[in-house]
Copies of this chain bind each other. A is one copy, B any other.
């Protein structure tokens, strides 16, 4: 183990294991307490403005025919993570599946038959010991990049994000404090863009230089590494965060996951959600405001419409501005991609749209 985070996560696993050893010694039925991750135990915390896990906990017993296998699997995953932490190595959840898959004794019974079995067990372990998978040295796929007025130390290497050429710094999946350190931040805000193509337009136009900001993209839905990084930047450096997504229900959803977290992974919200995030666009009202030609709009399909109606009901979209926004989309019957702004000129987004919106505080939150 090379750092405090690994030591502390490892201690949490040890604590879990110790409880079980104690129960065995006392001839009790060994058990694990696992917070329930189903919808019934998820709610929107109005005060904190994040989607949270409730207090319901499920007991997983060793002496229980229907629970014994999962009990064993949970300990197996915990033990593999403990190994990773000890060696100071990180790996993917796919790799962890292969590391822990084996056939039991002389039976034909495998510990896991495929990865769909091991993934939920990892989530169980995360909630059981209150540690993100990244804290367990598990990484997800790398996606997203960053440029701007910030120097970052990544695994001991100092990276000047103002000198990263056209590609930018590839945001790693694990951005915990021991891996990623913010060394010098000279930015006034963070701009998070859904699409890498638009991010590259902004990077090429040196938007971040002129407007002193940090420019991030997540290549679609923001991956965990990017969300955790945004969380850390906002909390540690007190920077405002603007989000710039397609004008469709999917874009709105990407924004809301960054802001409030998601229902599926509610237990992560407290360490990933950024309730202060601001939605900059594309707004359904931009079409008229910027006189975008009709032929760049795309008709809402049935899926879009039902998704829009669905998010209209979400507690975290109840603010007046958002209700107006979503209703306008449904009324107009069309959606817009970020690239639609290029119909007004290739650098319209850099030179007019974004600076104006930011200057005039034209955002939804």
A-side residues, CB < 8 A to B, are 83-84, 87, 89-92, 94-95, 97-99, 101-103, 110, 139, 141-142, 145, 152-159, 163-172, 174, 179-180, 196-197, 200-201, 204-205, 219, 293-296, 337, 339-340, 342-343, 346-347
Q: Which residue of B lies closest to A97 (CB)?
A: B339
Given A154-B166, A164-B157, A172-B166: A91 touches B346 (CB 8 Å cut-off): yes
Are B89 and A346 in contact, CB atoms less than 8 angstroms apart?
Answer: yes
The count of identical subunits is 2
Are A164 and B168 in contact, CB atoms less than 8 angstroms apart?
Answer: no
CA distance A101 to B341 in the complex (A): 12
Are A167 and B163 in contact, CB atoms less than 8 angstroms apart?
Answer: no
CA distance A87 to B196 in the complex (A): 21
Q: Which residue of B lies closest to A110 (CB)?
A: B295
Contact of A346 among B84, B139, B171 (CB under 8 A): B84
The 7 A-B pairs of least Cβ separation, nearest first, read A154-B165, A167-B170, A92-B197, A170-B170, A157-B163, A167-B172, A166-B172
Q: Closest approach, in angstroms, between the C-beta of A354 and any C-beta of chain B?
A: 16
In the bound complex, residues from chain B placing their C-beta under 8 Å from that of A294 are 103
Contact of A174 among B98, B163, B166 (CB under 8 A): B166
CA distance A145 to B293 in the complex (A): 38
Q: Which residue of B lies closest to A200 (CB)?
A: B139
Are B99 and A346 in contact, CB atoms less than 8 angstroms apart?
Answer: yes
In the bound complex, residues from chain B placing their C-beta under 8 Å from that of A343 are 98-99, 101-102
Are A163 and B158 in contact, CB atoms less than 8 angstroms apart?
Answer: yes
Sample (23) of A-B pairs whose CB atoms are under 8 Å apart = A89-B205, A89-B346, A90-B204, A91-B201, A91-B346, A92-B200, A95-B201, A95-B339, A95-B342, A98-B342, A99-B346, A102-B343, A103-B294, A103-B295, A139-B200, A154-B164, A156-B165, A157-B163, A165-B180, A166-B179, A167-B171, A167-B172, A168-B170
In the bound complex, residues from chain B placing their C-beta under 8 Å from that of A158 are 163
